[in-house]
A and B are shown apart, each in its own frame.
Chain A
Amino acid sequence: MNIEVKDLYYTYPAGVKALLGVSLTIKTGEQVAIVGQNGSGKTTLVKHLNGLLQPTSGSVLIGDWDTKKVSVAKMARRVGYVFQNPDEQLFCRTVGEEIAFGPRNFGFDAQKTESMVNDALQLVELSDKKDTNPYDLSSTWRKMVALASIISMDTECVILDEPTTGQDAANVARIAHVVSELQKRGKTVITITHDIDFCAENFERVIALSKGQVLLDGPAGIVLGKEKILAQTYVDPPQLTRLGKRLGLRKTVRNQEEFLTAIKKLIL
């Protein structure tokens, strides 16, 4: 199921022009991070992918579904959306019910629903909290409940809006684990993030937006090295990428392992 965005323009009712001709294709199973300054159109773009917003002009295709012709309810079968703030999406009395809501709504039978719920709970390390009220959990764990409630719907594409905001190092690692597990399952994962180190360490393709247009789109190892162009949309390359450049490493390094390997070569 490819995602095809063609010459997408979007103007908010109040007149703010948020997208000015965005075109891109995301293939099945790709892991894509969308970066860019505040107000660059990141959230507006991804809200088009599940039909929450409709193009002012241009089109968005999710597989063979045109978002203009398919209801938001139906779109939910193909694209799951984890909101930035979990409190905007949680409403059930227990964690288990919250996570069962999606699959049950899709009409899956009790047995299938249960197996999907258990799988999602296990993935986010919440198996022992099935009967807990989500609001008795910390906001960190509510984030994981929100994540699980989308995973349990088993959609081909999962969108994560700023998944690491306000999360500590241990939880960022948990979220990274979920992303890699979804990748193994062949899911398409699209994330919006300002956490450029998280982006560098977990995503293969990076799209940088600036003022409603695509500024850069390509493999993370190339895009994240383009410090001057990224600066136009207020994105700093990852910490170790910057350090590598300053030290004169020729290759764009993205993580600790790549950095140390390159440094060792430089010394020897």
Chain B
Amino acid sequence: MNIVNLTQVTYTYPLTDKPALSKVDLQVKEGEFLAIIGPNGSGKSTLCYALAGFVPHFFKGELEGTVQVAGVETKSSTLNEWVMNVGLVFQNPFNQISGAKYSVYEEIAFGLENMGVPREEIKSRVDQALILTGIDDLADRSPYSLSGGQQQRVALTSILVMQPKVLVLDEPTSQMDPVGTREVFGVIRSLTGRGMTVVMVEHKMEWIGQFADRVVGLYDGKIFINGKPREVLTSARLVGRGFGISRYTSTAREAVKEGIWPKDRELPVTLDEAIKGFKKISK
């Protein structure tokens, strides 16, 4: 069942002429892990804002077409209602952290307090969320005393704890070390296993290749490519357009040119695929 449904969405920010999104049709199934890729300025963050209701409720501007989540349209809802269904983790955690709370623990509880969740339930949900994302040791620290990667985990946890139906993440691991990145992808995979729907903007192709169910590439505000991770991430259409490409893919592509990787063999996205492919060559 599709939980997210975008139909012919065109959106133009206030005081600009060129649409940031142009005639976007996109469906996401319940429990699906969809990755969004694209060069800077292609509309990735705007798509996140449209899913999270910030477009049109916060940014105003002109929205054509319809954005539906769980059968409800953003235009006919308020932002307050919308956050119960869709959680957005911002690209820059600094923009997310409330500034109203002294500790990570309180920061994570902030959303639930605002939703009017009973005190005991808040405590148990916050405790669980802190353990899920591995930041229970940071609970008493000030959010502002943390490193960028740690702040990103706090931002993610503060949204997860609200248990949204659809989780939207705008480059949630950009400041994280590889272990943090791996854990976040692991957590997200387990959440989709329990029925949460995830839409994630990400530049780390190797990780998308391993974890996502589907990849959509945006270019110039339009859906440029849409399909299984392997097909999309190894597509020649991405080359030269500012899309990130896994080093394994680009190196194998170069190896094809040099005649050492067979033309008809699939290009690798992940380390394991690259090992397999290059082993065949060297034997």
Contact = CB atoms under 8 A, between A and B. Distances in A.
Q: How large is the interface on A (under 10, 10 to 19, 20 to 34, 35 or more residues)?
A: 35 or more
Given A166-B171, A260-B254, A263-B282, A37 B177 contact: yes
Given A14-B142, A236-B178, A260 B251 contact: yes
Contacts of A233: 177
B250 A256 contact: yes
Interface of B: 38-41, 91-92, 94, 141-142, 145-150, 171, 174-180, 203, 206, 242-248, 250-251, 254-255, 258, 260, 271, 274-275, 278-279, 281-282
Interface in A77-98: 84-85
Contacts of A109: none
A43 B146 CA distance: 11
Contacts of A16: 141, 145
B258 A260 contact: yes
A14 B104 CA distance: 15
B278 A247 contact: yes
Contact of B180 (A138, A234, A243): A234
Interface in A164-187: 165-171
A259 to B, nearest CB: 6
Contacts of A165: 148, 174-175
Given A37-B179, A38-B176, A260-B255, A169 B278 contact: no
B180 A168 contact: no
A238 to B, nearest CB: 7
B40 A239 contact: no
Contacts of A264: 258, 260
Interface of A: 12, 14, 16, 36-39, 43, 84-85, 138-140, 162, 165-171, 194, 196-197, 233-236, 238-240, 242-243, 246-247, 256, 259-260, 263-264, 266-267
B254 A256 contact: yes
Contacts of B148: 38, 43, 84, 162, 165
B245 A169 contact: yes
Nearest to A143: B40
A50 to B, nearest CB: 19
A16 B40 CA distance: 36
A39 B41 contact: no
B180 to A, nearest CB: 6
Given A166-B174, A263-B278, A240 B247 contact: yes
A266 B148 CA distance: 42
A257 to B, nearest CB: 9
A111 B20 CA distance: 40
Contact of A168 (B40, B141, B149): B40
A20 B137 CA distance: 20
B147 A43 contact: yes
Contacts of A239: 206, 246-248, 271
A16 B279 CA distance: 47
Nearest to A192: B148
Given A39-B146, A239-B247, A170 B39 contact: yes
26 contacts: A14-B141, A16-B141, A37-B149, A38-B150, A38-B180, A39-B146, A39-B150, A43-B147, A43-B148, A84-B148, A84-B175, A138-B40, A165-B175, A166-B92, A168-B40, A168-B242, A168-B243, A171-B242, A233-B177, A234-B179, A239-B246, A243-B274, A243-B275, A247-B279, A256-B251, A267-B260
